[in-house]
Amino acid sequence: MLNATEIKAALANRPKIQWRSEPLLGSIYGQEEIDAAVGAIKEAMNPENGFGFSASPIPEFEEAFAKYIGVKYAAAVNSAGPGIDIVMRALHLQPGDEVIVPSVNFVAAPLAVLGAGGKLVWGEVDPKTYLLDPADVERKMTDRTRAIFPVHIHGMSAPMDEYIAIAERHPHPVYGPAKVIGDAARACGGSYKGEKIGKMGWATIFSFHTMKNMTTLGEGGMIVTDDPELNAFAHSVRMYGNEVDEWGTSNVMTKVQAAVGLVQLSKLDSFIAARRRLAYARNRMLEGSPDFELPYEPTDREHSYYLYTLTVKKEWAGEKRDALIKMLQDDYGIGSVVANRPAYLSRPLLAGKFGKTTPISEAAADRMISVSLHPAMSDSDNAYIAAAILDAASKLA
């Protein structure tokens, strides 16, 4: 942990960049992205080409992404939200069919279950990892459970093989084991048991939105799977569903985005390495503080550190944690975020439809604080942030 002299020295170097809670560009862009985008536009300027339908390099980007993850198929979409909707619709849920979703979540997955006509069952998270708790999933399996839908919430993989084993122990009487689906919007490039996130489970959805680990000009997403039927479904319904004659709309990615995506993909591992290096350096600067637990990373995974999440001590849950967030912003110019409180607390629609049933997760979320981290952050800015956290905590105590 930094000592008083080190804290003072680090705080003397205020960052030149306003480090927001989730910096608005999550990756790093260079001349290569500009060249790729301009190249794709120039190609499209020929009226014989235009921007095309699923035109090159969209299939090339899909193929490269599938190879990177280690799966057979990838389908590019305009953002992760519609990607999640497409996967949910592929389940063809019947009224009363259940999907277990962790309440500590962004709203995309819960809304997708609602949109697909399913019954959402809120799962508790493990307060140490903030990931869907397998023991709670097992308790909530019924003969109506069609899917288990964890989110890799802070960029670290959820324990996928535990959910898969649970699904196999409780097969649905008609459809067999529940499908395990991963929301990896925030976790592109992380790994689990030596494989990239996205390799395990029936389907995984990634986001390339501007804040994410890799980005495709502000919006974009990818569905990956080893299931040829799901892949065909996704490719069809992302453009009105003609081939499968199902409801669909336009959710396509442009070739300019795909061209940039290919470049970002080639840099992704370097972004993740930078995030991990900064996270570990920050851990060393905070280690031993009585006020926080550091991000927990089991030995079987590589956290991508999309978010760097501390757990405040019990006595600081709720109000004091909120005061810390405000102090970091107001006094030090550093952004932090609670990612996320149970989704039903922010969306009455979800509470009304599916209840508020995860007290453990509500309590866990009251202790969570994710403080800005970015692959382009300098060591000096990282030290400033660690010093700000310690200084603010000493004022709060």
Ligand X SMILES: Cc1ncc(COP(=O)(O)O)c(C=O)c1O
Residues near ligand X (CB under 6 A): 79-81, 106, 108, 151, 183, 185-186, 207, 209, 221
User: Could you tell me the smallest distance in angstroms from the CB atom of residue 204 to ligand X?
Assistant: 11
User: Could you tell me the smallest distance in angstroms from the CB atom of residue 242 to ligand X?
Assistant: 24
User: Could you tell me the smallest distance in angstroms from the CB atom of residue 387 to ligand X?
Assistant: 29
Tokens of 123: 């799962």
**Contact residues for 9 (Cβ-Cβ < 8 A; gap 6+):** none
Of the pair 15, 261, the CB lying nearest ligand X is at 261
Q: How far is CA 170 from CA 73, 113, 126, 142, 227, in A?
A: 27, 21, 21, 8, 21
CA distance 46 to 112: 39
Using alpha carbons only, give the angle 23, 29, 34 rounded to the nearest 5 degrees.
Answer: 140
What is the distance of C-alpha 181 from the center of its chain? 13
User: Could you tell me the smallest distance in angstroms from the CB atom of residue 217 to ligand X?
Assistant: 12
Of the pair 177, 375, the CB lying nearest ligand X is at 375
Of the pair 108, 334, the CB lying nearest ligand X is at 108
Of the pair 217, 285, the CB lying nearest ligand X is at 217
* 3-state secondary structure (DSSP) of residue 355: coil
DSSP classification of residue 230: H
In the chain, % helix, strand, coil (3-state, to 5) comes to 40, 15, 40
Which residue in this structure is represented by tokens 């003609």?
A: 242
CB 289 within 8 A of CB 340: no
User: Could you tell me the smallest distance in angstroms from the CB atom of residue 12 to ligand X?
Assistant: 35
| Residue 394 CB neighbour total at 10 angstroms | 12
User: Could you tell me the smallest distance in angstroms from the CB atom of residue 280 to ligand X?
Assistant: 23
Of the pair 151, 368, the CB lying nearest ligand X is at 151
| Residue 260 CB neighbour total at 10 angstroms | 28
User: Could you tell me the smallest distance in angstroms from the CB atom of residue 56 to ligand X?
Assistant: 23
Of the pair 221, 335, the CB lying nearest ligand X is at 221
CA distance 123 to 147: 12
User: Could you tell me the smallest distance in angstroms from the CB atom of residue 385 to ligand X?
Assistant: 22
Of the pair 81, 127, the CB lying nearest ligand X is at 81
CA distance 202 to 178: 9
DSSP per position, 152-176: -TTSS---HHHHHHHHHHS-BTTTB
Of the pair 151, 286, the CB lying nearest ligand X is at 151
The counts of H helices and E strands in the chain are 14, 16
Which residue in this structure is represented by tokens 């190879």?
A: 67
Which residue in this structure is represented by tokens 């591992």?
A: 269
User: Could you tell me the smallest distance in angstroms from the CB atom of residue 190 to ligand X?
Assistant: 13
Of the pair 207, 289, the CB lying nearest ligand X is at 207
CB 102 within 8 A of CB 151: yes
